[in-house]
Each structure stands twice: as structure tokens, then as C-alpha cells.
Amino acid sequence: MKLPTQPPCARFAFVLALPLLAGPAVAGNSLSGNELFVGHSNAQILKGAPSGTPADWTTASSTPRALLAHGSNLLVGTADGQILRLDHDSGALLGSHSTGLAILDMAIHDERLLVSAGDNLIHVLDIDSGQELGSMHPNFPLCSVEVTGDRVYSGSADGHVEYSVIGQDQWTTVVNQAPGAVTDLAFGGEVLYFTSENCSSVFIMNDEESQAIREFVMYEFPTSLAVTGQSLLVGTSMAGIYDYDVPSFFTNGVVWVGAPIISMLVNHRESVGNGYCAGEACPCGNNSQRGGCANSTGLGAQLKATGNVNTTLGDVDLQVSHLPVNSFALVFMGQGNGTSNFGDGRLCVGGQSLFRYPVRNTGAEGMIEELGVTQHSLDHFNSAGQISAGSTWNFQAWYRDTQGSCGSGFNTSNAWSLSFTE
């Protein structure tokens, strides 16, 4: 579905505005972001894959206004002025401190928290202790805040966007009088996205040149934004999370999470290795721009790897997304390559032997994870299949797809190559 591009909300002026263009390019690896956190209006925090439906994870002390990744922790700024530090994996509370502020939004710069508060200041806090180190003074009443490079951007309650170099506190306005409060800001490469209260549009602005680029219209009020690779995720007041392809702004789908969305975060864990065998030359013309050959979801299954290929320092996790829901899938590995048709997909892993990881259910999110592939190989495979330093292994996922377009009943993901070290 293509969204209309003639916006009913275009009643405000961009400074140095240019004519509408076809849309910005977004920098980044489309396989690099793998965890989505969502703050609900009911104080719940949800967690899941960016391509799936997040599930209940933990509960904050009050409405989670801001979510930030900091190392292996998640920082949560709440409406009652608390900053919570949660374990990134378990959700366990590791610490908290009270700011005494009405927190509206937060950002991180150089191990310092920049907190947008109801007193119209940006408070600069030590990220560990919460001690206030100073403040910045935007020209307009505050609502949202975002950082890119050495700049902090402020979205105001009366529809302005302005920025200052951090430490200088000299503000330059780049957007005048949006239709309502600028409720969220997000960057993808050098492109700034922002939402405006009581307006069903997402606005897009080139940061480097401070120029208007484009806006597109939704059918709900957007409240929160997150960028992951070539996708823009838009959370709404009607509890939907829309996944838009960039730069086409065609929608890849929508999931529903049961309550209005207040905040979102896509945490990008470092991608390792190299992907190959994209969805090209597929068996029945079911090519896909991302992942493997297209399946019954209309997309190709995406395999990616994160973690550490140093066998003495850590391990590697694999995630496969865009799978048919409530189906079955498994990851397999080999030391060679293949290029043959295989079901509705392509077989891109070969070698004298192939080693299979456990069969897993794709669940309601249409995804599986294989955590700790090195350790699993040591525990469950014979010596020929045990991952060791100096070896290179190629990975791919097989999955059942009874409604696939080629009719074979199964398909494969893209492939991923990992060279292990010590």
C-alpha cells in the first residue's frame, strides 16, 4: 500500500524550504537492528524484533516517556521523574534515581543524559549517578529531544524544531510552527524525521542542509518514531506500529500492541560477518529486495548475525525474521557454498557435511533465534561440525511455508558467512 503524499497538515513553513523531492536515502545496514522496545501508556514496556509483534517484558514505575540503550542496559525515563536502569536481556531493575523533573524525553551524548523536562530546559545529567551537570535553554517550550553528532535537536510544544551545538547553547530554528507539538524526533543517517501532535503526518527534513524534503500522510496520529536500517517504524495513538520502507514509504506491514504507544527504541547490536545470497534469481520469480526469496508474507526471510566471532571472548547469535507465523524453521551450517534452487528459495550453503540446529516454532512474531552458535556446535555436533578459531562457516535458515508462491511447501533465508578468530 502506498501512502498519499498530498498532506492535509502542510500549513506551516520550513526555513529554507525546497520543493518536494522523491524522498531521502537512509544510511545503515538493513540487517543491523534486532531489538525493539516499546513504551505503553499503561506503564508496560514491550520487547521484540523490529519485524515482529513485541510482547510484554516488564513494567515501569509510571508511563515510560523515553527509552535509551546504554551498553548492556536499558534506560527508562518515566513521567514521574524516575530514570530506571534495566538489564537489557532480563528486564531486571539494576538501579534508579529520581530527578524531580517532569521527564518528556531523553537523549545520550558522551556519557551524559540530556533530559527534556516540563520546565522548558534540557537538563544535562551524569549518566551513572544522575547528578545534574548543567542545562541548556532552547528558545521555545520543550517537548522532544534528539542528538546526532555534536548537535542536540529540540522539538517544541508550539511546533518548532531548533538545534544547538552541544555546549554552546546557541539555538538555530529549522522548522517554524508545525501544526502542533513536535512529539518525537528520530534520525536515519542525515535525515531527520518528526511528528506533530494532532496531525496524521510524518515529516522528513535533511539535517545537513536544514531543508524540507517531504512529508507523508498516515491514517492515525503518529506518536513515536524509530529507524532501523531501511525501515522507519511509526508508533501511533491507536496502538499500531507501522513499518515503512525508506525511501519509497511503502508500508511493509503493521502490528498492534494493545495500548497507545508513548516511546520506542530500536537497539542496534553490532552485526558481524557478511550476508550473501539475497533474493535474486528465485525459482518462480519470487525475488525479494531483502532477505531470501519472497515467501507467503510477501517478504524474504532475513537472517543476520550479531555478537563476537572471537571464540574466547564471546559467541554469536543468529536471528531469522519475516517468517510465516506459527510455522517451523531451523538454521543449518556448512563450510562451502551452493547456488541451486531449493524449494521456493535458493540453497547457498554447501560442503561435505551440513549441520542442523534445532527445529523451532516461528510463533506469532514470525521469527526464530539461535543463541550461542559456537557453544551449541561444541555441545551437540561431532568434531567435523565444531566451530573453532580459524574456521569459516556459512549459515542459512530453512522453513516450512505451505502457502508459498512456488508451491514446494518450504523456502530458505539469505545466507551469512562468519570467520571465527581467537
What pLDDT does 175 receive? 84
102: left (phi over 0), alpha (psi -120 to 50) or beta: beta
Answer whether 155's CB lies under 8 Å from 144's CB: yes
User: Average pLDDT in the 258-287 region?
Assistant: 89
Q: Which helix (H) or strand (E) holds 377?
A: helix 373-380
In the predicted structure, residue 210 carries a pLDDT above the cut 50:
no
Q: Confidence band (pLDDT; 50, 70, 90) for 9?
A: low
Q: How many helices (H) and strands (E) does the chain have?
A: 1, 36
Mean of pLDDT values over 206-233: 76
Q: Provide the grid cell at 386.
A: 565444531
Reported confidence tier of residue 28, pLDDT bands at 50, 70, 90: very low
Write out the H or E segment, with its range, that includes residue 374.
helix 373-380
For residue range 175-190, list pLDDT tens digits in order: 887 888 899 999 887 7
Inter-residue contact 302 to 362 (CB < 8 Å): no
Question: In angstroms, rounded to a whole number, what is the distance separating the alpha carbons of residues 416 and 317?
Answer: 12
**pLDDT above 90 for 416:** yes
Q: What distance in Å separates the CA atoms of residue 142 and residue 255, rounded to the nearest whole number?
A: 30
Instruction: For residues 121 and 169, give the distance between their C-alpha atoms in angstroms, rounded to a whole number.
Output: 11
Alpha-carbon distances, residue 405 vs 278, 347, 362, 377, 401 (angstroms)? 17, 17, 19, 34, 9
Is residue 14 pLDDT above 60, yes or no? no
Q: Are 420 and 393 in contact (CB under 8 A)?
A: yes
User: Mapping DSSP to helix (H, G, I), strand (E, B) and coil, where does residue 379 land?
Assistant: helix
For 13-268, which CATH superfamily applies? Answer: YVTN repeat-like/Quinoprotein amine dehydrogenase (2.130.10.10)
Question: Is 274-419 the same fold as 13-268?
Answer: no
Say what the pLDDT of residue 213 is.
Answer: 57
Domain ranges of the chain: 13-268, 274-419
The residue-averaged pLDDT of 235-256 equals: 87
* pLDDT reported for residue 287: 94
Cβ(152)–Cβ(175) below 8 Å: no
Distance CA 142, CA 257 (A): 28
Task: Supply the pLDDT for residue 146.
Answer: 94
Q: Using omega within 30 degrees of 0 as the cis cutoff, is the peptide bond preceding 247 cis?
A: yes
Give the residue-averaged pLDDT of 25-29. 29
pLDDT-derived band of residue 31, with 50, 70 and 90 as boundaries? very low
Check pLDDT > 50 for residue 20.
Answer: no
Mean pLDDT of 376-388: 95
Residue 373 backbone dihedrals phi, psi, to 5 degrees = -65, -35
Asked if the model's pLDDT at residue 174 lies above 90, the reply is: no
Whole-angstrom distance, CA of residue 242 vs CA of residue 252 = 8
- CATH class of the domain whose range is 274-419: mainly beta
CA-to-CA distance for 391 and 383, rounded, in angstroms? 13
State the Cα–Cα distance between residues 304 and 311, nearest whole angstrom: 18
Could you tell me which residue, 285 or 24, shows the higher pLDDT? 285
Q: Give SS3 for 376.
A: helix
pLDDT of amino acid 72: 66
- Average pLDDT on 235-243 reads 92
For residue 247, what pLDDT is reported? 74
Average pLDDT, the chain: 85
Q: Please write the tens of the pLDDT for every residue from 130-157.
A: 889 999 999 999 889 999 888 999 999 8
pLDDT at 377: 96
298 vs 32, more confident: 298
pLDDT class of 312 with cuts at 50, 70, 90: confident
pLDDT at 236 over 90: yes
